[in-house]
Amino acid sequence: MNTFKLPQKMMTILVGFIGIGVLSMAVSFLLDVQRGWAGLLAFAWYLTIMGLAGGFWSATQYVTQAKWSVVVRRIPENTVHVLLVAFALLAVVATLGIGNLYEWSHADIVAHDVILQKKAGYLNTPFFWVRIVIYFAAWYGIGMYLLKLSKSQDESKDPHVSHQLLKSGIVYLTIFAFTFTFAVTDFLMSLEPHWFTALYPMYNFAGMATTGISTMIILILLIKKYGGLKAIGPDHMHDMGKYLFAFNTFWAYTVFAMSMLTWFANLPEETYFYEKRFTGDWAYFTSFLWFGHFLVPFFYLISRDTKRSEAHLMNAAWITAFMGFVDVIWMVYGAFIDNTANVAHAETAAHAEQAAHAAPHAGHFIHGFPFGFIEIGLFLGAIGVFGFIVLRAFEKGNQVPEGDPGLQESLDFHQPL
C-alpha cells in the first residue's frame, strides 16, 4: 500500500476551520434565526455540490476512458464521503427549518395562492422528504460503489474493472443528470416558489463543477505541498487548471444567458428574481459575484504559466471556491430580501403583484448586507468539513489507482509546449 498521511498540524487547522464554522452558525442563529436557517441551507448545499462534483468528474473520466487523469482520480473519488454530512444537515433543514425557508410548506398560505396550489402536486412536504432520501441514496450509493470498484482494482489489477467502471459511470451520469435537476429545483428554485427559469439547474451545474474542481485542486496541492501525490506533475495540474477555466467560463455563459434573457423579455413573473437582487446593497453584492466569480479567475487563469504554477493555481482555486460559496449565498439569501420597496414602486399593478409574490412569506426577511463575517466563517467551516472528511478517507487507501491499465500513460503524460 502506497498511502500518505498529512501532518497532524494540517488536520488540526482543518478541525479549527470546522470550529469556526460551528461558531459562525451558532452566532448566526442567535442574531437572526432566518439568517441562521438560510446559512445552514447554503452550508449544506455547498457541501453537497463539493461531494457531487468529485463523483461526477470521476464518472466522466471512466466513461471517456481518459488516461491522463488516472493519477489525479483518488481525491475526486473520495469526495463522495462528504455527502453523508450534507444529507444530515439538509435533513435538519428540511424538517426543522422548512417552515422558515419554504413558503409552499405552509398549508394556510397555499390555500390562498392559486400558483402554489397548482404546484402542490410537486411542492409538498412528504414528497419533498421522499425526494431528498432518493437523491442522497442514489448519489451516495452509486458513488460509494464506484469508489469501492475503483479501489478493488488496486489489488486485482484487473483491466475488466475499468470496463465495469465505464458501464457504472454511464448509469451514474444518467441518474445524476435527472436527480441534480430536481434537487436544484427543490432546494434552491422553490425558495422563491412563484419564480422559475429553465436554465437554473444548468447554471447550478456549472457552479457545482467550478466549485468542485477548485476544491479538488486545493486538496491535491495541499497534499503535494507536504510531499504526497508525487505522481501528479505540473502537466496534470495544467489540465486541472484548464478544467477550472473552462467550467468557470461556462458558468459565466449560463449567468449571461439566464440574466440577459430575463432582462430582455422583461416578463413580470420572471424579472423580479433579478430586480430584487439589483436593489440597494444587493446591487453591489451581485456585481461582486459576477466580477469575482468570472472575471478575476478568468484573467488570472488565462495564462499558461498560472495554470502550471502550484502557488498561482492554488490562489485561483481558493478564489473560485470562495466565489462558489458566494454564489450559493446569493441564490439562497436572495429569496429573503426585504422587497417592500419594489412592491411600492412597481410600474403597473401586474408588476406590483409579481413583486409581492417575490417577497418572502410572513416577513421572513434577512436584513442588512447579505455577506459578512458569519458567511466567511461558514465558508471556512465547509472547507474544513470537506477537507477533513476527504483527507481522512484518502489516507486509508492508495494515493493513485495502482491497478488501472492507464496508469503508466498517465504518469508519462506531457503537455505539448
Partner 1 sequence: MSLDAAKNAYTIGKPYAEIDNDILSPVEGFPEKTWWTWFIISLTGLLVYLGVIGYSFVKGLGIFGINSPVSWGVYIIGLVFWLEIGHAGTMISAILYLFRQRWRTSINRAAEAMTIFAVMTAALLPLIHLGRPWMVNWLFPYPNDRGPVWNNFNSPLLWDVYAISTYFTVSLFFWYMGLLPDFAAMRDRAVIGRNQFKAKTAIGEKLLEMRVWLLKVAALGWVGSGKAWHHYEKMVMLLAALATPLVMSVQSILSFDFVTSVIPGWHSTILPINFITGSIYSGFAMVLSLVIVMRSAFNMKAYITDRHIDNLGWVMLFTGMLVFFGYFVELFMAYYSANGFEQYVWTYRFVGEYAWAFWLTMVTILLPPHIMWFKKLRNNHTLLFIMTVIINIGMWFERFVIVVTPVARDFLPSSWRLYVPTVWDVLVVLGEFAMFFTFFLLFVRVLPSIAFTEVKMDEAGDLAKGKGHH
Partner 2 sequence: MPSFKEIKEGLFSYEEVDSGYVVRVKDAHDLLEAAKKVRDAGINRFDTFAPFPIHGMSEAMGLKRSWLPFITLIGGITGFTANISYIGYITLIDWPIIYGGKGFFNFPSMFPLFFEIMILFASLSTVGGFMALSGMGSINRKPPISEATSDGFAIWIGDTIPESEVKKILGSLAMEIRSVN
Site string for partner 2, 256-295 (x = CB under 8 A): x--xx--xx-------------------------------
d(CA 113, CA 358): 13
Residue with Cβ nearer partner 2 (163 or 304): 304
We find the least distance from the C-beta atom of residue 415 to partner 2, in angstroms, to be 11
3-state secondary structure string across 318-361: HHHHHHHHHHHHHHHHHHHCCCHHHHHCCCCHHHHHHHHHHCCH
Residue 416, interface with partner 2 (CB under 8 A)?
Answer: yes
* Residue 198 interaction partner, one of partner 1, partner 2, none, beta carbon < 5-8 Å per kind: partner 1
Tell which positions 54-73 bind partner 1, by CB under 8 A. 65
Binding residues for partner 1, rule CB under 8 A, total 33
DSSP 180-204: HHHHHHHHTGGGSTT---TTHHHHH
Is 348 a binding residue for partner 2 by CB under 8 A? The answer is: no
359 vs 380: CA distance, rounded Å: 30
Residue 125 interacting with partner 1 (CB under 8 A): no
Min separation Cβ 9 and partner 2, Å? 39
**Shortest distance in whole angstroms from residue 77 CB to partner 1:** 19
Nearer to partner 2, 155 or 409 (CB): 409
Q: Which of 2, 88, 178, 368 binds partner 1 (CB under 8 A)?
A: 178
Of 200, 232, 224, nearest in space to 401 by CA: 232
| 30 binds partner 2, rule: CB under 8 A | no
DSSP letter, residue 293: I
Please tell me whether residue 181 binds partner 1 under the rule CB under 8 A: yes
Cβ contact 388:14 at 8 Å: yes
CB of 100 to partner 1, least distance (A): 22
Q: Residue 163 interacts with partner 1 (CB under 8 A)?
A: yes
Q: Using alpha carbons only, how large is the chain's radius of gyration in Å? A: 22
Measure the CA–CA gap between 149 and 155, rounded to whole angstroms: 11
Query: Considering the complex, what minimum distance in angstroms separates the CB of residue 147 from partner 1?
Result: 20
With respect to partner 2, which residue has the nearer C-beta, 263 or 291? 263
Q: Which of 118, 367, 396, 414: binder of partner 1 (CB under 8 A)?
A: 118
Of partner 2, partner 1, none, which one does residue 267 interact with (CB within 5 to 8 Å by kind)? Answer: partner 1
Asked whether the beta carbons of 187 and 41 are under 8 A apart, the reply is yes
Nearer to partner 2, 152 or 303 (CB): 303
- Write out the binding residues for partner 1, residues 212-251 only, by CB under 8 A: 249
Count of residues interacting with partner 2 (CB under 8 A)? 7
Candidate residues 262, 306, 339, 410; the one interacting with partner 1 per rule CB under 8 A: 262
232 to 261: interface string for partner 2, x by CB under 8 A: ------------------------x--xx-
Q: How far is the CB of 286 from partner 2 (least distance, A)?
A: 13
Binding mask 269-288 for partner 1 (x = CB under 8 A): x-------------------
Nearer to partner 2 among residue 287 and residue 340 (C-beta): 287
Q: Which is nearer to partner 1, 255 or 355 (CB)?
A: 255
Q: Which one of partner 2, partner 1, none interacts with residue 122, CB within 5 to 8 A by kind? A: partner 1
Closest by CA position to 316, among listed 394, 228, 414, 243 = 243
Q: Which three cell numbers stand for residue 97?
A: 427549518
- Decide: is 174 part of the binding site for partner 1 (CB under 8 A): yes
Binding site for partner 1 (CB under 8 A): 65, 115, 118-119, 122, 159, 162-163, 174, 177-178, 181, 185, 189, 196-202, 249, 253, 257-258, 261-262, 264-265, 267, 269, 405, 416
Binding site for partner 2 (CB under 8 A): 256, 259-260, 263-264, 416-417
